[in-house]
Amino acid sequence: QSALTQPASVSGSPGQSITISCTGTTSDVGGYKYVSWYQQHPGKAPKLMIYEVSNRPSGVSNRFSGSKSANTASLTISGLQAEDEADYYCSSYTSSTTWVFGGGTKLTVL
Amino acid sequence: QVQLVESGGGAVQPGRSLRLSCAASGFTFSTYGMHWVRQAPGKGLEWVAGIWYDGRNTHYADSVRGRFTISRDNSKNTLYLEMNTLRAEDTAVYYCSREDDVWVTAGNLGVWGQGTTVTVSS
């Protein structure tokens, strides 16, 4: 159950777009549609932003979008806003009937 | 409103046990899969365990399998995590979380509690 691989940090200016990658294997990200993304502000509980690769829960801005190609999933945030500054985690179902998170990516809005 | 409230955290010595509880309200608890996720100080999220809506199936991370037990009492709208043989590396904030949709156990964690802190230290 190795953690999925995410970049430690990404940054962008307000109004720009950024993409966070999440790389796994055919036993997790590449093998299933159950990839989700979470936003976590300091001291707060995580919030579901994307589920099943590309679906947005009710109430989540359409500036957030998800996709997947082979063993890598991606979260794209367009029109960056100051409040988007947070830690972002991907998660995937695995062939061991478990779930695994990525190591997390710190997004800085410059 | 939909709410999850964890309790039972605290400081405990290595090798001892602790039971966490998660009280659910504002939704039909018996129709949702549930999970525990933890976060060590300054670290990322780690999935710990999951349980189907009816409790008939459970799943565990390798790091806790054989030591932790997830269970639920649908008559009390409560989720539990029994933690035995605790280690220093189990020190973390433990979050209770709910699937985003009924009946499924897909790992789409749409509702989270505020977390309860477990500290394992001699």
Per the CB < 8 Å rule, is B45 touching A38? yes
Phi then psi for residue A84, to 5 deg, are: -80, -15
Q: Is the pLDDT of residue B69 over 90?
A: yes
List the single residue in B with minimal CA-CA distance to A50.
B108
Per the CB < 8 Å rule, is B45 touching A46? yes
pLDDT at B55: 95
DSSP summary character for residue A3: P
Distance to chain A for B59, nearest Cα, Å: 6
In sequence order, what are the residues at sequence separation of 6 or more whose Cβ sits closer than 8 angstroms to the Cβ of residue B66?
A: none
pLDDT band at B104 (very low <50, low <70, confident <90, very high): confident
Residues B29-52: what's their mean pLDDT?
98
pLDDT at A53: 97
pLDDT at B98: 98
List the single residue in B with minimal CA-CA distance to A90.
B45
Q: Which of B4-13, B14-23, B97-106 has the lowest mean pLDDT?
A: B97-106
- State the Cα–Cα distance between residues A8 and A3, nearest whole angstrom: 13
DSSP summary character for residue B21: E
Per the CB < 8 Å rule, is B110 touching A48? yes
Contacts of A3 in chain B (CB under 8 A): 44
**CA-based end-to-end distance of chain A:** 34
Residues B95-105: what's their mean pLDDT?
93
Report residue B20 CA to chain centroid gap.
7
A93 forms beta bridges with: A99
pLDDT at A100: 97
Residues B29-47: what's their mean pLDDT?
98
- As given in the structure block, the two tokens for residue A23 are 């790389």
- Tell me which amino acid residue A19 is: T
pLDDT at A2: 84
Residue with tokens 């966490």: B20
In contact, B37 and B97? CB cutoff 8 Å = yes
Per the CB < 8 Å rule, is B107 touching A89? no
Distance to chain B for A104, nearest Cα, Å: 6
Can you give the pLDDT of all 110 residues of chain A as single tens digits? 789 999 999 999 999 999 999 999 999 999 999 999 999 999 999 999 999 999 999 999 999 999 999 999 999 999 999 999 999 999 999 999 999 999 999 999 99
Contacts of A92 in chain B (CB under 8 A): 107
- State the Cα–Cα distance between residues A25 and B18, nearest whole angstrom: 35
